[in-house]
Amino acid sequence: MELESNLNETSSSWTSNLTKKRVAFIGTGVLLATAISIIVVISVKSSSKAPLALSVFKDKMNLIKDEIKWISYSTDNYSLTDALPGSTGSVDKNSVYLCRAEQLAYLLPGTFDQTDALCKVAYIRVRTNRKFDLLVTRNPSRLVWEKESAIGLKESSGRLKIGAISGGYSNNEELSVARFDYHGYMALGDLSLKYKEARGPAAGFEQHSEYYDVLYVADYAL
């Protein structure tokens, strides 16, 4: 009788150990998957401030998991549900959304205009795309536009805070998402840290600005 109960204890503690191990294993897998999916969206750039504690970092990643993502669309099948508008303001400024499209060997963030349902990116000239991704978020308060400028970037040694949304790449450089006002029209495009200027399509041409907003995950850059 005593032996049997001992056996039972041993076996149940062994099972619970195994369960714990399995749970830990699954937990690691989920974290890894989360980390990989987040890396696609967020460029983690060096910051002048101290890095986040790892546990806080993981918590934040879990929070934004599935909340912010790029979804593939075309001119024929797009939906603006949960798409990020360029600005809240005049009706005209509301009619553009953040998109990105492949251009030559690059991936460039740009402006999706409802009036023609095309994603326009600026690369030497304005290039229109029928295939594109829209940045979608179920919780718009997780994203915030923060003012930045060429002068400000020079002062911070050309670095952005952690949490800037990555919009693509060109010339071996990761591009952040930026927007700027061009004579009352909101141009959505990219920021090159090399040139410290935002670039976007407006009035039919590639436009540049030394004053712009950069898109960040809110409450991420502490």
Ligand X SMILES: *[C@@H]1O[C@H](CO)[C@@H](O)[C@H](O)[C@H]1NC(C)=O
Which residues lie near ligand X (CB under 6 A)?
72-74, 77, 131
Question: Nearest approach, Cβ of 129 to ligand X (angstroms)?
Answer: 11
CB of 78 to ligand X, least distance (A): 7
Within 10 A of 77 (CB to CB), how many other CB atoms are there? 7
Provide, rounded to whole angstroms, the least separation between the CB of residue 39 and ligand X.
22
The dihedral built from the CA positions of residue 109, 112, 117 and 118, taken in this order, carries a sign that is negative
Shortest distance, CB of residue 34 to ligand X, whole angstroms? 23
Decide whether 2 or 76 has the Cβ nearer to ligand X.
Answer: 76
Angle, helices 54-64/2-41, rounded to nearest 10 degrees = 70
Residue 47 or 128 having the CB closest to ligand X: 128
Ramachandran angles phi, psi of 103, nearest 5°: -140, 115
Closest CA to 109 of 122, 92, 91: 122
Q: Which is nearer to ligand X, 73 or 97 (CB)?
A: 73
Q: Is the CB of 83 or the CB of 175 nearer to ligand X? A: 83
User: Do the Cβ atoms of 195 and 214 come closer than 8 Å?
Assistant: no
Write down the H helix ranges in the chain: 2-41, 54-64, 91-94, 150-155
Q: How far is the CB of 131 from ligand X (least distance, A)?
A: 6
Nearer to ligand X, 21 or 130 (CB): 130
